[in-house]
Amino acid sequence: MSPRSYGDYLKLPQLLSSQSPITDEHDEMQFIVVHQIFELWFSLILFEMKAIFSSLEQGEVRSATRTLKRIDKITAIFPHYLQVLGTMRPQDFHLFRGALEGASGLQSEQFREVELVSGLGEESAYVEGLRKSGHWTEKLEKRLPEDSLRVATRRLIEREGVSLEEIYAHPDDHVETHDFLEACLDYDERMQEWRAAHLRLAERMIGSGALGTGGMGAPYLRGTMRFRFFPDLWKVRDQVTVSGGGKLAGPASGGEKR
């Protein structure tokens, strides 16, 4: 029996035969590759999320934090992939865009799973918006009742036996929990950066008002900027500021709907 090869282990023949442009336009190939890479990363994020939930259930908060930091590193590179797509000239994108018909990255079921498992299933505006858009699937419906990272943070705080405000007022007394919550915020921030980069790319490629191939363009992407996975972790900053003697310019807005 011959030893396993690198190509066999990674199933490279199958992987490298999965790029099938439907036009002869040069830029379509990189468009396909970049989106396929995103789907692989989404798959890994969902895999790592399961490990986080398992670690938290066993009380292994440090392990959960370490895994979440890995997810943060993954999402940190997402905007760089969009920069590759940004090397296309708008007119070159439109040479094959019509052939996509209704196909759109907004239809990525895995990305929606990432959003739900992170906590957006609690946002009725998010869920209803997807249902109305036609981008809601049976798989996503089944995902709704499942655990989310937002719920996991609440359970962790409850187990700590103090309020979120207390944890942030005295972080050195709650080091493991505080570090995990801060890792959650890092991840949330990184996803916001990716949303912003996606919006800029859409505006660069098709303009600020045109519809995307899935019927949604920059206006839709702009609206998604209001969604955050951990609104309570953003709001607590206002409370820490007030406790420290600061004042708020207006109502607390971290994660609230606008």
Alpha-carbon distance of 82 to 97, in angstroms, equals: 16
- With tokens 């336009």, the residue in question is 25
The tens digit of pLDDT for each residue in 42-74 reads 999 999 999 999 999 999 999 999 999 999 999
Local confidence band at 106 (pLDDT 50, 70, 90 cut-offs): confident
Mean pLDDT of 92-103: 87
Chain segment 73-97, per-residue pLDDT in tens: 999 999 999 999 999 999 999 999 9
User: What is the average pLDDT across 110-138?
Assistant: 90
Output b/e per residue, 132-161; b: 16+ Cβ within 10 A: eeebbeeebeebeeebbbbebbeebbeebe
Domains of the chain: 24-97+106-243 (1.20.58.480)
pLDDT exceeding 70 applies to what percent of the chain? Answer: 93
Residue 17: half-sphere exposure toward Cβ, Cα within 13 Å:
6
Could you report the per-residue pLDDT of 2-50, keeping only the tens digit for each?
889 999 999 999 999 999 999 999 999 999 999 999 999 999 999 999 9
Task: Give the pLDDT confidence score for residue 258 in this predicted structure.
Answer: 32
What integer pLDDT is reported at residue 257 of this predicted model? 41
Q: Strand, helix or coil at 63?
A: helix
Q: For residue 116, what pLDDT is reported?
A: 95
Say what angle helices 175-206 and 90-97 make with each other, to 10 degrees. 90
